[in-house]
Structures are given as C-alpha cells and as structure tokens.
Amino acid sequence: MDLLESLKKLKNIGPDSNYTRNSKDFILRTEPGLPLLLGARRLFFKGLESGAALALAGISVILILGGSYLTKISPFFGARSLDLASLKAEAQNIDIQINLTNLNYVQSLGKTISESGQSSVPVGKLPLGSTAVDPVKSPQNHIIATPKTKKPSGLSATSESSTAVPSAPEEETMLIDQALQTLAE
C-alpha cells in the first residue's frame, strides 16, 4: 500500500517553474538547425547582397570623383562647358580687370601729360574712360586685328573698388615729388 501511494505521488512530480521558464527561453532563442544545403545557399545570397552594396557604393564614389574626366570624354557630361553660372563668373572677373587696367592707364596718362606740361589737368584726376586725349603710344604699329568693339551686354560692369595698381605707392610717390617740387622753388 505504501508503495502504491508513493507511485501515485509520482504523478505530481514536475520541474521547477524557474527552470521551466529558463529552458523555454533558451529553446525559443536558439534557431532551428537548418539542413546543410539550405544554410549554404542563404550564406551565399547574404554574401552576394553585401558585395553588391559595396560595389554600388564604390561605383558612386568613382562616378563622382571621376566626373571631371567624364566631362571630357562623354557628351552627356559635356554640358558643363556651357554652364552659364561659371561663364558669368569668369566674364565678371574680366570686367573687373578691365576697369582696373583702364584706371591704371588713365592715371599713367595723366601723369605723363602733366610732366610734359601739355595740360593743366592734375595728375590722377582724369575721369575713368576719358577719351579726351590720344594714347601716349598707339599699339597700331603692331599687326593684330581689332576685335568687334561692341561692349558685351551680358556682362555687368562692376568695379570691385577704385583701388588701382598700385594705389598707395602712387600716393607716396606724388607726395615725395610734391615735396621736392616745393623745395626746388
């Protein structure tokens, strides 16, 4: 009888609840073991995916960095040569240089005339672009064709500043010469 009762008690035997919970979690975390062939295939496609992503990134970088070379060889990229924004920027630089060179020319002309006593116009005071006098030496003895003289309408005649080349040394020169002139009188 004792034996029968002991055997009946065995029915109630169960695992510890914590143990049950931990084992269940462990089992759920573990991936099921795939057949060998399916695992290899998946690995292959994963590798292919990563490789393709790498290759795409590499091609993008090469395309961007090599863009300047491609503009030379491909007409599709050649449209950059007609880029209006950079054309305008280059044209404006030329305008600035023209104004500065003209200013230098007028200043040196004024000084030459003043020294020769042909005019009472003070040195450096001629208005910009004055055509009142002929150039000291005309370049016409050189064999070059003259361009069409129409002033480009697309260019803005901006002058960065009135600083000629050179402005401060010219002022110093005039002051020294003025002092010497005063002392010589």
Partner 1 sequence: MIKKPEIFLISIIALLGVFCLSSKSLAETAYPAGTNQIVAKNVCDLQSQLKELKKAGNNQNLADWEKYQTELKIRKGILENTLDCGIIEIANLKTNLISLSPITNDLIVLKNALDNSLSKIADYYNSQKPRVSNFGLSETKVFAQNLKNWRADNYEPLLKRITNLNIWLKNQTLFEAARSRLDKINQTVRALKLVDSDKIQQSFRQVKDNFGVASDANTLARQSLKNPNSVNDFLPLMQLSLDALAQTYQNLFELSDLINTLLPH
The single residue among 22, 46, 48, 122 that binds partner 1, judged by CB under 8 A, is 46
Is 34 one of the binding residues for partner 1 (CB under 8 A)?
no
For residue 125, give the nearest of 180, 77, 162 by alpha carbon: 162
* Smallest separation (angstroms) from partner 1 to the CB of 127: 16
Give the residue with the Cβ less far from partner 1, 92 or 121: 92
Here the tokens at position 163 are 């600083």
- Piece in contact with partner 1 (CB under 8 A), picked from 8-16, 27-35, 69-77, 120-128: 69-77
Residues 146-175 that bind partner 1 (CB under 8 A): 146-155, 160-161, 163-169, 171-173, 175
Q: What is the x/- site pattern for partner 1, positions 108-147, by CB under 8 A? A: x---x--x-------------------xxxxx--x-xxxx
Q: Which residues contact 79 (CB under 8 A, 6 or more apart)?
A: none
The single residue among 34, 48, 54, 132 that binds partner 1, judged by CB under 8 A, is 54
The single residue among 20, 22, 23, 86 that binds partner 1, judged by CB under 8 A, is 86
For residue 124, give the nearest of 111, 134, 135, 115 by alpha carbon: 111
Give the residue with the Cβ less far from partner 1, 119 or 167: 167
CB-based burial, 40-64: b 16+ in 10 Å, e otherwise:
eeeeeeeeeeeeeeeeeeeeeeeee
The single residue among 79, 117, 131, 158 that binds partner 1, judged by CB under 8 A, is 79
Is residue 66 exposed (0-12), middle (13-18) or buried (19+ Cβ within 10 Å)? exposed
Is 57 one of the binding residues for partner 1 (CB under 8 A)?
yes
For residue 99, give the nearest of 13, 158, 26 by alpha carbon: 158
